[in-house]
Structure 1
Amino acid sequence: MVDFASLPIPVVPYTPVCRPGIGIAVTSYRELLTWSSKEFLAAPHRVEFHQILLVDEGSGTFSVDSTRFECGPGSLLWIRPNQVIQSAPQPDLEADLVLFTEAFPLRMNAFMGMLDDVLRPSHWRLKEAERADLGRVLDLMRDEFRRGDRRLGEDLLKHLLAVFVLTIDQICRSQRASDDHAQVDLDNGWGELFLRFRQELDRSYRTTRRVEDYAAAVNCTTRALARACRAVAGTTAKDLIDARVALEARRLLAHTRLPIAAVARQLGFTEVTNFTKFFIRRVNMTPGAFRRSHNTTYSATGEPRPWL
């Protein structure tokens, strides 16, 4: 069985040079380009930390786990640890950048346990009011970060980061409610159950795609699991299970040379034809067509360098 984390894709560690010893950096994408070459950023790579990008001016193309996003003014992009990323910014791109380790944020019930959930949205286009709300928090974070070492400085940044990510979560929920024409309950109480389900899904997606098996694993009824998934993610448990399998299928097709039949076996399909039907339903193309459309190199140019 292939361990995705062992694939020959360079991993960038969190080694900031602008303010060592603290698990957060608030800077700009232009500053990032002074420390990492465009060639390295354009090739497949992963980072060991969270990276949130808010575009102010210009444009750029970013690929996150083989999903391509065209980013312009008002685009918000959240890249999570170990997602495979590639970037092609235009020379006019101006964007704020927040980097932080998984250990840095404050713990806030189940929410922080879902920060690294690769099935959560990665890209939003913000309205002017949303950009203003997020910008005010970002300004406070940037000012505090630039002050340098002082008593309580790190605690202040932790609290400001909590406000920042909760604001993003609120924007995400608001946009989802608008799209679904439904009211989203921001305090629904289903977070802990959903988190247990997501953890079990990451452990078991290769062996089962049955909702009943996951409900049994987290000691709840299928009805309760359905309500938790709908309340937190706005979709069904079955859709999330299939999304996780499809994500791993895309990763293996894009970044390994495993035969399609072997990819199918890795993901628990006994027949390659069933895998092909599943993949077409989720991705709208055959596995072979997807692999050809993502015919990239398997390692980035150069060695990872310290970031910021």
Structure 2
Amino acid sequence: MAMTSLSEVRAQVSRSFAAAPHRLAYHQIMLVRSGTGDFTIDSTRYPCRVGSLLWIRPNQVIQFAPATNMEAHLVMFTETFPLRLRAHMGMLDDVLRPCHWQLRDDELAAFGRVLALMQEEFERPDQGLGEDILKHLLAVTLMHIDQMCRSQRKDQREADTPTGENGELFLRFRRELESSYRTTRLVEDYAAALNCTPRTLSRACRIVAGTSTKDLIDARVALEAKRLLVHTDLPVGTIARQLGFTEVTNFGKFFVRRVNMTPGTFRRGDDSQN
């Protein structure tokens, strides 16, 4: 785990690299403390100001606006570092969860105190328990985000911390989806892998996420397609094959249905608006 500031990161990389789309191999939590600027995550642009909180997960494609006066606290950690506490596992593991919040004044003050405590411990010389203390403080930080997310989305059907049999099945499905979306888009295949019926899986997805199993599968495939179109120079045909499409025309139809434009138009255009 590491803690730093946005200005320190900018000082270590070139302006052109900072402005170009790139992927992170680790989690990064960013809390804006001054200034304004735009930050793009997986082709969605988020205008940021004081109190903006962003959670970038491994393999998400990010990009800064070319010019910004924004300053922010950064917390970076690998997938294996956090304590495996149930309360925040959905937020940690699910790439389709929310990744941007605008904190209220009371939320910003409370979250700032947690970050300050973690920063103090991070800078303190390790006397043998430093890593364990940081793991617990990070768990508190992630649970704060989980709680704020649920508070801001309480009027929606999605449960940010799914519980019960449906919640357990949903989390297992999301993990299976993350490992298998490149090879299959069939609901039946996921149900078989999870040792349940398609109807049971569909019920869990409807209860927890408010949408169908098929929609979640297709959303994940479309997300990866957009990432590859933005972050790589791979031909569209190669991207189609990597995502399990045997015909590039079928991939094109799928992409238009999900994104409302062709892959070529998406790659050429201002994809941060989509």
Instruction: Answer whether TM exceeds 0.5 for this pair.
Output: yes
Gaps of 5+ in 1: 1-23, 296-308
Identical-residue share of aligned pairs (%): 66
Aligned to 2:61: 84
Please give the alpha-carbon distance, in whole angstroms, between the structure 2 residues aligned to 1:234 and 1:169. Answer: 18
Does residue 94 in structure 1 map to residue 71 in structure 2? yes
Letter in 2 for 1:60: G
State the shift of 1:145 in Å.
Answer: 1.6
Aligned to 2:218: 242
Q: Secondary structure of the equivalent of 1:159? A: helix
Aligned to 2:140: 163
CA-atom RMSD in angstroms: 2.7
Gaps of 5+ in 2: none
Letter in 2 for 1:134: F
Please give the alpha-carbon distance, in whole angstroms, between the structure 2 residues aligned to 1:183 and 1:209. Answer: 22
Please give the alpha-carbon distance, in whole angstroms, between the structure 1 residues aligned to 2:207 and 2:117. Answer: 31
State the shift of 1:105 in Å.
Answer: 0.8
Please give the TM-score of this superposition, normalised by the length of structure 2.
0.85
Please give the alpha-carbon distance, in whole angstroms, between the structure 1 residues aligned to 2:55 and 2:200. Answer: 29
Q: Is the 8 A contact 1:212 1:222 kept in 2?
A: yes
Does residue 282 in structure 1 map to residue 249 in structure 2? no
Aligned to 2:112: 135
Please give the alpha-carbon distance, in whole angstroms, between the structure 2 residues aligned to 1:218 and 1:130. Answer: 38
CA spacing shift, 1:205–1:183, aligned 2, 3 Å: closer
State the shift of 1:133 in Å.
Answer: 2.8
State the shift of 1:139 in Å.
Answer: 1.9
Q: Deviations over 1:177-198 (max 9, x none)?
A: 23x2x58484623444233212
Q: Deviations over 1:24-80 (max 9, x none)?
A: 222321222232333222223323221110112211222223332222222111112
Count of residue pairs the alignment pairs up:
270
Name the structure, 1 or 2, with higher relative contact order (CA <8 Å, separation 6+): 1
CA spacing shift, 1:103–1:257, aligned 2, 3 Å: closer
**Equivalences for 1:142-291 in 2 at 5 Å?**
142-178=119-155, 180=156, 182=157, 184=159, 186=161, 188-189=163-164, 190-291=166-267
Q: Secondary structure of the equivalent of 1:177? A: coil
Aligned to 1:20: none
Q: Deviations over 1:194-230 (max 9, x none)?
A: 3321232133223332222211111122343234334
CA spacing shift, 1:225–1:173, aligned 2, 3 Å: farther
Letter in 1 for 2:122: F
State the shift of 1:156 in Å.
Answer: 1.7
Q: Deviations over 1:139-197 (max 9, x none)?
A: 2212222223234332221111101111112222232323x2x5848462344423321
Q: Is the 8 A contact 2:252 2:262 kept in 1?
A: yes
Larger displacement relative to structure 2 (49-58 or 253-262): 253-262
State the shift of 1:234 in Å.
Answer: 4.4
Does residue 59 in structure 1 map to residue 56 in structure 2? no
Q: Secondary structure of the equivalent of 1:34? A: helix
**Equivalences for 1:36-47 in 2 at 5 Å?**
36-47=13-24
